[in-house]
Structure 1
Amino acid sequence: MASQLIVRSVPPFGVPGAPEVLDAAAREQLDDVELGRARGLEPGPRAAFLAGRLAQRRLAAELLDVPPAKLIAAYDCPQCGPGSPHGRPGYTLSGAPAPLLLSLSRSAGWVLLAAVLDPEAGLRLGVDVQDPAGADFDGFDQVALGRAERDSLRGLSAAGLLHGRARLWARKEAWLKLCGTGLLTAPETVEVLHRPGIRDLPPDESGLPAQFAAALALSALPGRG
């Protein structure tokens, strides 16, 4: 059976009584590790964290055809090891790893999710969404982009420049999530303009508003170098 890729976006969680609704859903569906991490966050980041974890768990439960509360979070951080509250996401089900790759990104209240059901051995996944407004600061190109990436932005200005930066940053974040290192790897050292395994996600596939930049990385785990 071929691996199945699913991409889904979730709009900002803004309904009357949202904090209470989020808290109730979190207590019912999330596990102790996730709830413990949420308790250490300020109210705004806490709500975003809970909304993202709930959306991811519900997608995983839907694909696996089980109740969300049956899943046990099993994140894997290359530095901290299995059992970390952060890192590459995953779940166990009835004591065994769930046959599912997952990746999550948040920007401006939106959640972008990607999943691969029944992945082939060695396959890895990363997804990212960026609001171009986040790339509007002096020095972005120098700290975030390689030479070829900076060259690709020449001639752009205003909104076009910000979207170009956001596109490259989304591709970079998606790839680093696939690798499992995140921003522990200096982002300017990772060229993503033409790297195999990365592609942009257009709005009709991501379900995001048109102003966002989004990218998906799907490939076998790369070697070092």
Structure 2
Amino acid sequence: MQQPQKDVQVWALRVPGVSASSLDLSALDEEERRRMDLFVRDADRARYGFAHAALRTVLAGLTGSAPDLLRFARASCPCCGGPHGRPVLISSALEFSLSYSGDLVLIGAASGPIGIDVEPAPQLEVAEQLAKSLHPAECEEIETALPEDRPTVFARLWARKEAYLKGLGTGLGRDAAADDVRGDLPGWCLTDLPVNSGYAAALAVGSTAPSTLLLHRALPG
């Protein structure tokens, strides 16, 4: 049984409105640079680069390692046992999760399993279509909401589901209809996070009791 976690830290950051070439990306490794260069739009490269450089800054501050010396691997997938589960640090037991969308980046760190996600509110038609893939109780909550509220309701539920599936390490390899994430789940505490209008964000922590959440709006100095 998972034990209660103590402090869970979250960083909610704004992507600076600058080009990728203006960012300090010196800590990124070769694979991160390769992935960043795959993006066609400079804004997408800047978002990716900033998010991963910020992640290294956060983890370096928590582990005492230099940002460029951090090395990552993948845990085993709970669904198939393959090497594509949640990302982990090679040299530390600290757990983390990263999510970004639009101009928002979220980073979560804890002593045990953690997942974090941020989602933009979709168009009404998209929300209604994707709702059909969710748990029946979640789908019903979306369908019974006023039409103008359905995108927001969907985004909230989807962020909670993605955070939980990231924490498990399955991603969407687990059926999106399998779990009702409107509340906590066995062994997991789910929390909505305050973010900018037009977005929904959530945190999932593998714990038997709520943890103390420390929310930061800027990177450690």
Q: What TM bracket, shorter-length normalisation?
A: 0.7 to 0.9
Cα drift, residue 38 of structure 1? 2.3
1:184 matched to 2:173? The reply is yes
The letter of the residue matching 1:132 is: A
- Residue 51 to residue 135, structure 1, CA distance change in 2 (3 Å): farther
Show the 5 A alignment for 1:76-225: 76=75, 78=77, 80-81=82-83, 87-92=85-90, 97-116=91-110, 119=111, 123-133=112-122, 136-137=125-126, 138-143=128-133, 145-196=134-185, 197-203=188-194, 208-219=195-206
Q: Deviations over 1:20-48 (max 9, x none)?
A: 123xx22x101122222223333343332
- Residue 51 to residue 80, structure 1, CA distance change in 2 (3 Å): farther
Long gaps (5+) in structure 2: 208-221
Distance 2:22 2:87 in 1: 24
Cα drift, residue 136 of structure 1? 4.7
Q: Which residue, out of 10, 13, 35, partners 1:10? A: 13
The letter of the residue matching 2:92 is: A
Residue 40 of structure 2 corresponds to: 42
Equivalent pairs: percent with the same residue?
Answer: 29
Q: 1:149, 1:168 within 8 Å by CA — same for their partners in 2?
A: yes
Q: What TM-score does the superposition give when structure 2 sets the normalisation length? A: 0.78
Q: Secondary structure at the match of 2:180?
A: coil
The letter of the residue matching 1:49 is: Y
Distance 2:157 2:27 in 1: 35
The letter of the residue matching 1:13 is: P
The letter of the residue matching 2:100 is: R
Distance 2:34 2:75 in 1: 17
Q: 2:160, 2:192 within 8 Å by CA — same for their partners in 1?
A: no
Q: What TM-score does the superposition give when structure 1 sets the normalisation length? A: 0.77
Q: Tell me which protein shows more helix as a share of its residues.
A: 1
Across the two proteins, how many residue pairs are aligned to each other? 197
Q: 1:174, 1:217 within 8 Å by CA — same for their partners in 2?
A: yes
The letter of the residue matching 1:104 is: L
Distance 1:100 1:135 in 2: 39
Q: 1:90, 1:102 within 8 Å by CA — same for their partners in 2?
A: yes
Cα drift, residue 163 of structure 1? 1.0
Distance 2:176 2:144 in 1: 23
Q: 1:135, 1:165 within 8 Å by CA — same for their partners in 2?
A: no
Residue 19 of structure 1 corresponds to: 20
Cα drift, residue 149 of structure 1? 0.9
Which one has more relative contact order, counting CA pairs under 8 Å at least 6 apart?
2
The letter of the residue matching 1:209 is: N
1:33 matched to 2:31? The reply is yes
Cα drift, residue 77 of structure 1? 5.7
